[in-house]
Amino acid sequence: MKTRTIIIAALLLSMLGCASVPLRTMYHLSQFDPMQADPGQIAVAIRTTDAIAMQKGDVTIDLAFAADDNSVVIDNHYLVEVAELQRWPASLQDGLQAGEGLTVLHLSEQDAQSMREVQKMVLERREQLGSAKGKGSFSVSVKGTCLRKALPQGDVYVDLLLQVDTEQGFLTLAEDATLAELLEQGGEATQRTWPQCESS
**195 part of a folded domain:** no
| Structural domain total, the chain | 1
- pLDDT computed for residue 177 by the predictor: 78
124-156: buried (b, 16+ CB within 10 Å) or exposed (e) per residue? Answer: ebbeeeeeeebebbbbbbbbebebeeeeeeeeb
| pLDDT confidence tier of residue 76, bands split at 50, 70 and 90 | very high
**200 part of a folded domain:** no
- What is the extent of the structural domain holding 59? 4-184
**199 part of a folded domain:** no
For the cut 80, the answer to whether the pLDDT of residue 106 exceeds it is yes
- pLDDT computed for residue 55 by the predictor: 86
**94 part of a folded domain:** yes
Which of the pair, 108 or 151, is modelled with greater confidence?
108
Give whichever of 5-9, 84-88, 167-171, 195-199 has the largest mean pLDDT.
167-171
Which of the pair, 142 or 91, is modelled with greater confidence?
91
Cβ 139 vs Cβ 8: under 8 Å: yes
